[in-house]
Structure formats: structure tokens, C-alpha cells
A and B are shown apart, each in its own frame.
Chain A
Amino acid sequence: MNAQEQKMSAQEIVKFKETIENQSKNIKTIKTDFVQIKHMDFLTKDIETSGKMYFKSPNLLNWQYTKPYQYSIIFKNNKVYINDQGNKSTVDAKSKIFEKINKLIVGSVSGNMFDDKEFDISYFKTKEHYITKLIPKTASIKKMIKQIDLYFPLKDATVSEVKLIESSGDYTKIIFKNKVINTKIDDSVFTN
């Protein structure tokens, strides 16, 4: 725990969860820019990629990298459409793993990840943020991710930053910027 982080009280947790759950129920669309920072201890510099994310309830998702290269992954009608620098491919997404990825991405942005079956969850606050720390319970996920930290600005009930920490301590940080909730998003955005 960081020096300035404080544990939230039981009362605060109830109120916080209620706010997030109410907000995420009302989410019809999300449109946001993001910056992804990959930190590995052995590297001199972090690796930065960035792009845009579009979500339309209940299950349309386009996660798109635009810098330093073009890569998009679209979840639509139980299929995953990948466009990797012009190389297009489609994967059947009926598998549990894609369902989990979809849930994880949408949950990461909306913040609605209070799944006690999947995670051990603890709650903190700082002067700027509420922070939820999720420790996966499934062994296969645990091998890849030790902990997920979600940062919520005090005055905003959605996530501004996600930190995925590996067991080695290396991490991936995703920062959301210019987020717009419930703006109209054309269905064509979810076409590869």
C-alpha cells in the first residue's frame, strides 16, 4: 500500500459500489482515447502505444491501436475481428477466454468488476482517486496477472486508469483520456 493510500471504510465501500453499479447500468456507449504503457524492469524505456476504444451496449467493442502502428480488435456477434496492420482475420469468440477478455475490457472502463467469484477485492482512496485492487482467484489467470488496480477519479464514477501487474512486478498501465459516455456511435465503427 502506498503511503497516501487509505483503506476505505465498510460504509464508503457500500456507497462507492452502489455509485459505480448505478452508473454502469446507464452506460449505453463509451468512446475514449487511451495510452498504454508497458513497463518491464529490464528495459531502459517504457513502451508506449495508444489508440481509441468504442463500446456499445451490450456487446459491441472496438479496441484500436493507432500509434505507433495500426491494430484493431472488434468483438461482435460472438466473433472477434482482428485487423493487424492490414492483415485481417476472424476468430470464433464463443470460447470462455474471449468472453472473459470482453468482460474485462468493458469492466475496466466502466469499473463494474465487483465479481467476488473471480477476484479478491480491496478498496482504497487517495486525495485524487478511489482505487480498487483485484486479485484473480483462477490459477490460469493468476499466472499471467497478479493484480489489477482500477483508478476512479473522486468526482467521476468511471475508470481513468488500469494497471495490470504481472507476478514478476512488470506491469501494463492503460490511461483513458477524452472519455465520452452515451454519445451516439455508428454501428459502422464496429466493422473491420
Chain B
Amino acid sequence: MIRYLLISAFFSLFISCKSYQIKDAVSVDNSLQFVQNQYFSDVSLDYVYKTHIEIYGNKMGGIFIAKRINDTIHRMVLTTDFGNKLLDFEVSENSFKVNFVIDNLDKKIILNTLRDDFRTLLQVNSKVFKTYKRNKEVIYQTENNAYYYFDEVSSNLTKIIKTNKRKEKVIFTFNPKKTTFAENINIQHNNIKLKIDFNQINN
């Protein structure tokens, strides 16, 4: 039994040591110092989306509002359809401030997960570590192991994949209208049962 455990432990160690690789992608020289996600970048705009959140089978809906406050900080609010606030955050690459959270969501694990997701979703500039190419895609790996997928023809950002160096952890998928605006966005977690959908509201 012990031998079996040792073998399987060794085996899983061996498997999980394999670092994350993008299939069929080739490494190329870095052409950019910073990769840009422009979908929440315009300080003059209010970004308003209808949102659906599914967490461990529980569904909830509401409205997601985000605004770039200055060069580094975004403010984001989640309300119910009736307009009452569930969450109100200010987030940047290095800072995080909770202006308001309802008691049901006021748990460290929930706040940290949402903080990380919204930080990735909203952050405009990220430092490029490596660049890859695959078919008609350019992929920028950032220093914190997120991968930004761009369509080479349209220059639209289509996907951000966050990894823990070995595995895909969170996948952000964008359905772009143009390089600066995404009509629909989906956030899918692989290690926890959490899915968030955003659909643009024509306000």
C-alpha cells in the first residue's frame, strides 16, 4: 500500500511538474514591452454589463458596472437587478479597496477570488515576459503567467488565460465588437465551480 502511494505520489509529481505550454505555438522575439487590454480603458466611459454568476450550482444575476478612475485604478460595482449594491471595489495592479460588500459575500475566499478576477479583467497594461505565435494568433505571456491571445488579423484580444505555471486556472473569453469594446465576456474557473458571464447593456 505504502509503495503504491509513493509511486502514485511520485507519478503525480512528475506529471504536475510539466510546465504550461501552448500547443503548436512557437516562441518569437518580444515586439511589445506592455500588452494592452483595452476593453475597460476609456476613462470617459461607464462600462455596463448584465451579468450572470454561477457558483457551485447557485445562480445569481445582476448588473456589473466598471469605470477607469485614473491611470491605474478601476472602480467596479455589482448590483442586483433592483439596483442595490452587492459589491463595490477599487482595484489596481497593487491595490485593493472594498467600499461596500453585503454580508453574504463578505468572506475572504470570495473577496480574494473576485479581486483577482476583476484585477485581470480590468487591468489595461501588463508587462510582457515572452511572445508566441500560432496560426493567426499572437500570444503574450506576462510576468505573472497570464497569457493574452490576440487575433492577428483584427488585433482583437480574444482570450486571457491565467495559469499557475503548470495548469490553466482561469479563462477569460472576449467577444469583441472592436479592439476597444467587448460585447460579451465570460470568466471560467477550472479549479473551482465558478462561472461569470457579462453581456453588454445598451444604456
Contact = CB atoms under 8 A, between A and B. Distances in A.
Given A166-B85, A168-B99, A40 B203 contact: no
A144 interface: yes
Given A47-B203, A69-B50, A164 B84 contact: yes
Given A68-B202, A89-B59, A47 B65 contact: yes
B192 to A, nearest CB: 21
Interface residues of B, number: 29
A68 B201 contact: yes
Given A172-B82, A172-B84, A44 B45 contact: yes
A172 B52 contact: no
Contacts of A49: 81
A47 B202 contact: no
Interface in B6-59: 44-46, 48, 50, 52, 59
Given A71-B61, A144-B85, A44 B50 contact: no
A44 B81 CA distance: 20
Interface string A125-142: 000000000000000100
Given A45-B203, A168-B100, A84 B52 contact: yes
Contacts of B61: 71, 82, 84-85, 87
A85 B50 contact: yes
Nearest to B75: A42
SS class of chain B's interface: helix, strand, loop or mixed?
A: strand
Contacts, number: 68
Residue among B75, B81, B83 with the highest chain A CB neighbour number at 10 A: B83
A99 interface: no
A96 to B, nearest CB: 15
Given A42-B69, A87-B52, A47 B85 contact: no
A85 B200 CA distance: 13
B162 interface: no
B201 A40 contact: no
Given A69-B201, A168-B100, A40 B65 contact: yes
A78 B49 CA distance: 31
A98 to B, nearest CB: 13
Nearest to A38: B83
18 contacts: A36-B82, A36-B83, A42-B75, A44-B67, A45-B203, A68-B202, A69-B199, A73-B81, A84-B81, A87-B59, A143-B103, A144-B102, A145-B84, A164-B83, A166-B84, A168-B88, A168-B99, A172-B82
Interface of A: 36, 38, 40, 42-45, 47-49, 65, 68-69, 71, 73, 82, 84-85, 87, 89, 140, 143-145, 164, 166, 168, 170, 172
Interface of B: 44-46, 48, 50, 52, 59, 61, 63, 65, 67, 69, 75, 77, 79, 81-85, 88, 99-100, 102-103, 199, 201-203
